[in-house]
A and B are shown apart, each in its own frame.
Chain A
């Protein structure tokens, strides 16, 4: 069986942590800073970081269109925190650059500033009984989602984990904890696409 290669957008943010988690799950990873590095990927992760910074650099280095084309082909994409903002079609009170791929409305820093950042146990239906420790850092959440979007977890009645076709998104940071269930779930999406 051929190896799975996952690109991790490395413009800014916690990309190394995602690479480590994916590698522990058996995938190969590649840092993505320029369009030519996207060739031959089986999946793409958009990490946490500052979404405005990522948006500017996506535009400046012409990554926006090639990633949208990958998405159209059905290649799985996983966005966490800032990555959720990059995937959303609508961002509350903002016209910043995004990939506009998921039918969700997202609010930035929706839980508040850093002093409000928190960790909490959440339950994810796909993962059964065992709670998932989620780390929220100046996190966004999904204000509303179209019927085609599958809501996988909520916290305090706010949507924080969702999937729409080949797109998976979390408001929190699976790359900052040892629990690999979300990375494994994403890699299963990649395997069934392949």
Chain B
């Protein structure tokens, strides 16, 4: 008998995306460009994070027509975003046939206390995290993939680096704890105990972990890969740059050849201007997307 929507199948799709780049797209044309450039998946949106930031107001799930039109032209997996805690948006996305749901801080949260019970769905979920405790809480709720949050729509990699270093550092710390100290560590990190024990055994998260939020150049992507992530999300970084086609290709190559500085030098040439960047301290605290999520 065939069993659909099992944990192995949900987690498995993320395994297949590893070493790849997931690109934000808002139109079928952009989806074709992304696939042509070698993206391993696309995220179907109405606006990229930089435009969501600029527009202000409440950001919601995209119009199903936008998502469906992108699904129609793509042979690679299509992801879509639901608001934190908005399980009905997630139900809608599942019924549309989206391949992955991002319960995302880029949209305005629908619930300021609770996330979606992701175990109830057949479609897999990816969630953002800034530290190990947050990552393991999301996995406990059923996320089959994690991405560190960074600060979306800024073209500034500093927060992505901070969050990846934090998660990796905490994994190394937990790995070296004697067993009797794990319960207290779980309490302090606000992490589910069983999952923390698992991390201590594996020396990594029990699911695939991508980097996101501010990646704008091939070198940014390679930096995140060398820091230990499994793959890259690029949001505004591609279609807010001068030459999206060349930049998309270069970021795909950089994610594969992240350890080869000669290739990185070659592919970083003549890409035109990157997206305009934002200094994190110039963002008002209430505008920071990374603080959304509980």
Interface residues of A (CB under 8 A from B): 10-17, 33-34, 48-50, 52-53, 56-57, 60, 81-82, 94, 108-109, 113-121, 135-138, 173, 176-177
Contact = CB atoms under 8 A, between A and B. Distances in A.
Interface stretch (B16-24, B109-117, B191-199, B268-276): B16-24
B9 A49 contact: no
B40 A115 contact: no
Interface of B: 1-6, 8-9, 12-13, 15-20, 35-41, 75-77, 94, 97, 99-100, 122-124, 249, 252-253, 255-257, 260
A115 B97 contact: yes
A137 B249 CA distance: 25
A57 B99 contact: no
A15 B2 CA distance: 25
B12 A173 contact: yes
A11 B32 CA distance: 21
A169 to B, nearest CB: 16
Contacts of A16: 18
A10 B6 CA distance: 26
Contacts of A14: 15-16, 18
Contacts of B99: 113-115, 138
Given A11-B19, A15-B19, A119 B6 contact: yes
Contacts of A50: 16-17, 20, 40-41, 76-77
A114 B18 contact: no
Contact of A49 (B18, B37, B252): B18
A114 B123 contact: yes
B39 A53 contact: yes
B3 A117 contact: no
Given A33-B257, A57-B256, A115 B5 contact: yes
A138 B245 CA distance: 27
Contacts of A49: 16-20, 40
Nearest to A55: B38
Contact of B252 (A13, A56, A135, A137): A56
Contact of B16 (A11, A48, A52, A94): A48
Nearest to B94: A115
Given A12-B18, A119-B2, A120-B1, A109 B9 contact: no
4 closest Cβ pairs, A-B complex: A114-B99, A56-B38, A118-B2, A50-B40
Given A50-B76, A52-B35, A57-B256, A135 B12 contact: yes
Given A115-B4, A117-B5, A118-B3, 13 more contacts: A10-B19, A13-B18, A14-B16, A17-B15, A33-B260, A34-B260, A48-B16, A50-B17, A56-B249, A57-B38, A118-B9, A136-B9, A138-B13
A135 B8 contact: yes
A140 to B, nearest CB: 11
A83 B83 CA distance: 35
Contact of A109 (B4, B17, B75, B257): B75
A119 B38 contact: no
A119 B18 contact: no
B210 to A, nearest CB: 13
Which of A15, A113, A120, A173 is the most central at the interface, judged by chain B CB atoms within 10 Å of its CB? A113
